[in-house]
């Protein structure tokens, strides 16, 4: 059992670090050299189609509105995000992606799709289903045990 736990820990750490490294490399070598992995994940949390409040996005990212405000300031300066105060309540700030922000969003989403396609390439349907079940259990563990909100985009 100890050996199994050690191997599982090493694999989880390697996978996590590997994905971060791959994302960082893809950003540095792509059209969006001026943004970090954290910033692309902020762009992802804002989403493509509807204006969102700072509070909504901060909650999704698990950060404070103050921390998000600094990040959004950088993304506005770089031309990826625009912000606008609500006419009804001037305290509410809505944020949306600019054309450049939407392009970054789409390219990052394609990067994730391609990564997943590569992972499942050559797997049988039953292997894919086993992987999905294992990942759902891992996801649930993070949500339940560690009280971390992990977004799942399964339909």
Q: What is the pLDDT of residues 25-66, one digit of tens each?
A: 888 888 888 999 999 999 999 999 999 999 999 999 989 999
Residue 59 tokens, joined: 């909650």
Residue 91 tokens, joined: 């305290």
146 or 20: which carries more pLDDT confidence? 20
Q: How far from 95 is each of 53, 70, 104, 131, 144, CA to CA, in Å?
A: 6, 13, 16, 36, 30
The whole-number pLDDT of residue 152 equals 46
In 29-125 the beta strands, taken as DSSP E runs, fall at: 52-53, 81-85, 93-97
pLDDT band at 145 (very low <50, low <70, confident <90, very high): confident
CB atoms within 10 A of CB 125: 8
The whole-number pLDDT of residue 139 equals 87
> Lowest-confidence range among 62-66, 135-139, 141-145?
141-145
Backbone angles phi, psi at 92, to 5 degrees: -90, 125
pLDDT band at 90 (very low <50, low <70, confident <90, very high): confident
- Look up the pTM and report it: 0.81
CATH 1.10.10.10 given to domain 26-121: yes
Residue 1 has pLDDT above 80, yes or no: no
């Amino acid at each position: 059992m100890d050996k199994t736990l050690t191997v599982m820990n090493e694999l989880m750490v390697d996978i996590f670090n590997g994905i971060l490294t791959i994302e960082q490399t893809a950003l540095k070598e792509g059209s969006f050299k001026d943004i970090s992995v954290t910033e692309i994940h902020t762009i992802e949390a804002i989403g493509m189609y509807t204006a969102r409040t700072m509070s909504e996005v901060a909650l999704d990212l698990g950060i404070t509105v103050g921390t998000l405000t600094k990040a959004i300031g950088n993304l506005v300066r770089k031309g990826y995000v625009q912000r606008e105060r609500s006419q009804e309540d001037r305290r509410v700030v809505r944020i949306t992606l600019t054309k450049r922000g939407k392009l970054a969003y789409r390219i990052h989403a394609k990067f994730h799709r391609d990564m997943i396609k590569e992972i499942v390439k050559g797997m049988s349907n039953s292997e894919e289903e086993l992987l999905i079940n294992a990942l759902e259990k891992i996801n649930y563990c993070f949500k339940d045990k560690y009280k971390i909100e992990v977004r799942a985009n399964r339909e």
